């Protein structure tokens, strides 16, 4: 626990309701710990949409799949497994985060 406390750096994300903290399809570069505020988690999916003349077309839609609140974290699985994050994390309010850089977790300097 103390190891991570030494690595933890704080910064304030000042977002006017929309700041993308993590994009899907990318390996996270940090672990984020939410100290205040909350974020929405979205996943891209294909959807069939009916156009005004009745034609059906595929479109990519952002679907809300969850929320992240105080004392929750994100990005750690992506870093540890070195796999792309599958969702997009977007602030819903002003958020205060603590972060740990991926290089500190993986021991790369």
Q: Which among 108, 104, 87 is positioned nearest to 21, based on CA atoms?
A: 87
| Half-sphere exposure in the Cβ direction for 7 (13 Å, CA) | 17
User: Model's pTM, two decimal places?
Assistant: 0.74
Q: Is the pLDDT of residue 88 over 90?
A: yes
Domains along the chain with CATH numbers: 2-106 (2.60.120.10)
Residue given tokens 């909350």 in the structure block: 38
Order of all β-strands in the sheet with 39-50: 20-22, 88-91, 39-50, 56-68
Percentage of the chain exceeding pLDDT 90: 43
pLDDT band at 27 (very low <50, low <70, confident <90, very high): very high
Are 88 and 20 contacting, i.e. CB atoms less than 8 angstroms apart?
A: yes
Top-confidence residue, 7 or 47: 47
Mean pLDDT of the chain: 83
């Amino acid at each position: 626990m103390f190891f991570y406390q030494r690595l933890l750096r704080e910064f304030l994300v000042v977002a006017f309701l929309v700041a993308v903290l993590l994009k899907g399809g990318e390996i996270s570069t940090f672990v984020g710990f939410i100290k205040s505020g909350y974020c929405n988690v979205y996943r891209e999916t294909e959807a069939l949409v009916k156009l005004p003349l009745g034609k059906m077309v595929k479109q990519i839609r952002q679907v809300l799949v969850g929320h992240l609140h105080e004392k929750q974290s994100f990005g750690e699985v992506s870093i540890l497994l070195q796999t792309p994050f599958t969702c997009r994390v977007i602030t819903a309010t002003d958020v205060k985060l603590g972060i740990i850089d991926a290089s500190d977790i993986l021991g790369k300097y």
